[in-house]
Amino acid sequence: MHWRREITRSAWRTLFAAQLGWMLDAMDVMLFSFALTTIRAEFHLSSAAAGALGAIPLVTSALGGMVFGWLSDRYGRARSLVWSILAFSAVTAFTATSRTVPELVFWRALAGIGLGGEWAAGSVLVAETWPERHRGKAIGLMQSAWAIGYLFAALLAALVLPRWGWRALFFAGLVPALVTLWIRRNIPEPPHWVTPSHSLAGALAALFRPPLARHVLLLSAMCSCLLFGYWGMFTWLPAYLATPIERGGAGLSVIRSSAWIVPLQIGAFFGYLSFGFLADRFGRRTAFLTFVLTTALLVPVYGLGGRNAALLLAIGPLVGFFGHGYYSVLGVLAAELFPAAIRTTAQGFCYNIGRALAGFAPVTVGALADRHGIGAALAFTSVFFVAGAGLMLLMPRPETPAPGA
């Protein structure tokens, strides 16, 4: 543990700020997933239509990633992090006022714009603050906060949904706004950040000139595959656990399904923590392929094992461990492949283009669930994890930092 002595107090504080932002991002996103069954019943939606609602913020996050990514490069990583958290927390609360499906669509679309900016600003902020040799650990520690946010969403859903309904659940989305006061007061901009002179159009144009164009296309494709598999699986996972067995689900109640998710997210937390250390020790590519291909094997077992609640409880931590941990490599790759002047623009673009294309995942899984049962639809997502592993083999080795790193 001697490596901890190499990290300054300011770097630890920056990591904590990014963890808070990512945790709250996860909580806000997953509140909708836990409320999905209730919303579907209230608005009389098919599974495909409900999946489309879940897809909307993923699609609009592409716009948010590009806009907030440029704002981060132009005005500062810490400022952009604050602005994105304020945006998604306020809009999540306003979602509770929805009385019609178009209103739900409107608020979920706006929420995606704020959500799209948070990851890029936070991960670049950490990557530029921590030493390169410990970057994998730092991004892994940041990503681990997603599991905590997911757990908070599960606990809130178990406490709030049965008593006060989904609208009260969404009002909890206002809480993250309070965190921005601490971030704005305590987190400085990283030393490598300087105010660039280019416009948003200029920054995007720079991404598609050699040699960066190949990096952008490969990283965007890899993010698309991984996020399609992830959102196809985890958007519908709470509904899968709560859906009756005769419809391809696990047949658990809302409270029991939340309880089954807790060990899964504990596994996710340790997966995030472990990946960074394993990647720094054995290489990012080796660790990534191990995690992603193991996920591809576990997902069909989980999706088709719905009649055996004990099996789901037992392998849930493994699904969480391997199905989440590899995400830290995306932040490290983007930080090391792109120069500082357009780093967050690149990160926001690649990751959130992937998120936007992954918006088809909840719709696709919902449509397959209507025909074949929700468990079989979840099993289908393993194809995209295999594709993500294949794309990693085409990526340049990420161990050499880009200029300004």
Q: Which DSSP string corresponds to 15-35?
A: HHHHHHHHHHHHHHHHHHHHH
With respect to residue 67, please indicate whether it lies within any of the assigned structural domains: yes
CA 248 – CA 243 distance, rounded (Å)? 7
With respect to residue 405, please indicate whether it lies within any of the assigned structural domains: no
167: domain CATH number?
Answer: 1.20.1250.20
C-alpha dist (Å) from residue 137 to 76, 222, 331, 385: 23, 21, 11, 23
8 A C-beta contact, residue 286 and residue 392: no
Return the closest-CA partner of residue 17 out of 118, 132, 158.
118
With respect to residue 168, please indicate whether it lies within any of the assigned structural domains: yes
Return the closest-CA partner of residue 268 out of 221, 234, 219.
234
Q: What is the pTM of this model?
A: 0.72
Predicted pLDDT at 403 = 39
Predicted pLDDT at 254 = 60
With respect to residue 187, please indicate whether it lies within any of the assigned structural domains: no
Predicted pLDDT at 248 = 66
Centre a 10 Å sphere on the Cβ of residue 5 and count the other Cβ atoms it contains.
6
* Tally of domains within the chain: 1
Question: What is the SS3 assignment for 205?
Answer: helix
With respect to residue 403, please indicate whether it lies within any of the assigned structural domains: no
Structure tokens belonging to residue 263: 């060990």
With respect to residue 404, please indicate whether it lies within any of the assigned structural domains: no
Query: CB neighbours of 330 closer than 8 A, spacing ≥ 6?
Result: 123, 219, 222, 223, 226, 351
Predicted pLDDT at 351 = 80
3-state secondary structure 293-325: HHHHHHHHHHHCCCCCHHHHHHHHHHHHHHHHH
C-alpha dist (Å) from residue 24 to 145, 203, 218, 321: 8, 28, 29, 20
List the chain pLDDT tens, one digit each, 405 residues.
Answer: 566 777 888 888 888 888 888 887 788 777 887 888 788 888 888 877 877 777 788 788 778 877 887 787 777 778 888 888 888 788 888 888 888 889 988 998 888 888 777 777 777 777 778 777 777 788 788 888 887 887 888 888 888 888 888 888 888 777 777 777 777 777 777 766 566 556 667 777 777 888 888 888 999 999 999 999 988 888 788 778 877 777 666 667 666 776 777 888 889 888 888 887 888 788 888 999 999 999 999 999 988 876 777 888 888 899 999 998 888 777 777 777 887 777 777 877 888 788 778 778 878 888 888 888 888 888 899 999 999 999 999 987 644 444 344
Predicted pLDDT at 382 = 94
8 A C-beta contact, residue 332 and residue 405: no
Predicted pLDDT at 399 = 46
Which single residue is written with the structure tokens 């178990």? Answer: 158
DSSP letter at 172 equals G
Return the closest-CA partner of residue 327 out of 78, 115, 145.
145
SS3 content of the chain, % helix, strand, coil (to 5): 85, 0, 15
Query: CB neighbours of 28 closer than 8 A, spacing ≥ 6?
Result: 88, 89, 92, 111, 115, 149, 173, 176
CA 272 – CA 399 distance, rounded (Å)? 19
8 A C-beta contact, residue 64 and residue 288: no
With respect to residue 191, please indicate whether it lies within any of the assigned structural domains: no
Return the closest-CA partner of residue 108 out of 117, 118, 98, 121.
98
8 A C-beta contact, residue 233 and residue 323: yes
Residue 198 one-letter amino acid = H
CA 113 – CA 90 distance, rounded (Å)? 12
With respect to residue 402, please indicate whether it lies within any of the assigned structural domains: no
Domain limits for position 241: 8-182+200-392
